Amino acid sequence: MNSNYRIVALKEYPKLTEEIDKLHRLGWVKFMGKDPIANKYWNKLQLWFAEFQFLLLDNRGTPIACGHSIPFHWNGTENNLPSGWDGVFEQGILEYENNIKPNSVSALAIVIHPEFQGKGLSELMIKEMKSLVKRNQIHQMVAPVRPSLKHRYPLIPMGEYVRWKRKDGKPFDPWIRTHCKTGATIIKVAEKSMVIPATVQEWEEWTDMEFHSSGKYVIPGGLVPLNINRDANTGVYIEPNVWLNHHLD
């Protein structure tokens, strides 16, 4: 660990939950904070799984990044993976409530303060998450990854996008590339990883756009288009992610 930074677990510093919320507000477009599963379970995640939530502090003790993950049970097969981000989040919560012992951990998010992005902290945060999983005596880790540049190519199917390579043969997407650099391999696309339904008016507020007709709309920060149905007064955003397997040995 670079001496300029320090890792702390939320379990040891529970008062830092407010700092985590600040980082998330800075790190995501507005609609990403409106996912129903996240809103339903986020407080339980931080309360029940505090040892799996951590922060990166700079040399002044200021939180500049945070990482989130959740234990769950997985038999190791592709078909047994949850639907994606929403699915694994809910599964982990429900299994805890039903006393089902986890044998795996899924990453949920890594957020880095905008002022500290591009300084190599993403790789550091992934490595710390993997170390945290091993310290908790769990030997499988997966991640439903949100590719960082996919929002620039919202009309390209995710299955095609993840096959894009740079000239050096490495993944085109920087976030997928960082995960692979730290020992991950692609399992499959999670086509319905996160589903965010809302009224047309809510979507207009979140995107600063107007939707006068039903149809598909490219929205700022969206990995895929938003589906608007004016007659039903609904907008539904169904985001695909990419399941990665982090090899811990």
CA 49 to the chain's CA centroid? 16
pLDDT at 247: 85
Q: What angle do CA 160, 162, 164 make, to 5 degrees?
A: 80
H/E stretch holding 174 reads helix 174-181
In a domain, 209, yes or no: no
CA dist., res. 181 & res. 48, Å (int) = 31
In a domain, 164, yes or no: yes
CA dist., res. 141 & res. 241, Å (int) = 16
Long-range contacts of 172-177 (CB under 8 A, 24+ apart): 173/147, 173/148, 173/149, 174/148, 174/149, 175/122, 175/145, 175/146, 175/147, 175/148, 175/149, 176/145, 176/147, 176/242, 176/244
Q: How many CB atoms lie within 10 A of CB 240?
A: 22
In a domain, 217, yes or no: no
The CATH code of the domain that includes 140 is 3.40.630.30
pTM of the model as a whole = 0.94
> Which pair of tokens denotes residue 177?
């590339």
SS3 (DSSP) at 202? helix
Number of domains in the chain: 1
Q: Is the dihedral of CA 40, 42, 44, 45 positive or negative?
A: positive
In a domain, 105, yes or no: yes
In a domain, 71, yes or no: yes
Contact 38, 89 (CB under 8 A): yes
Contact 244, 184 (CB under 8 A): yes
Contact 55, 19 (CB under 8 A): yes
In a domain, 230, yes or no: no
pLDDT at 119: 86
DSSP labels, 24-77: HHHHS-GGGGG-HHHHHHHHHHHHHTGGGEEEEE-TTS-EEEEEEEEEE---S-
> Which pair of tokens denotes residue 219?
């929205």
> Which pair of tokens denotes residue 134?
């091993």
In a domain, 202, yes or no: no
CA dist., res. 175 & res. 170, Å (int) = 12
pLDDT at 86: 98
Q: What is the pLDDT along the chain (249 residues), one digit of tens a residue?
A: 556 889 999 999 888 899 999 999 998 999 999 999 999 999 999 999 999 999 999 888 899 999 999 999 999 999 999 999 999 999 999 999 999 999 999 999 999 999 998 888 999 999 999 999 999 999 999 999 999 999 999 999 999 999 999 999 999 999 999 999 999 999 999 999 999 999 999 999 999 999 999 999 999 999 999 999 999 999 999 999 999 999 887
H/E stretch holding 87 reads helix 85-97
Contact 106, 144 (CB under 8 A): yes
pLDDT at 163: 97
In a domain, 45, yes or no: yes
The strand ranges marked E within 113-233 are 141-145, 184-198, 215-217, 226-229
> 118 lies in which domain range?
6-193+240-246
pLDDT at 50: 94
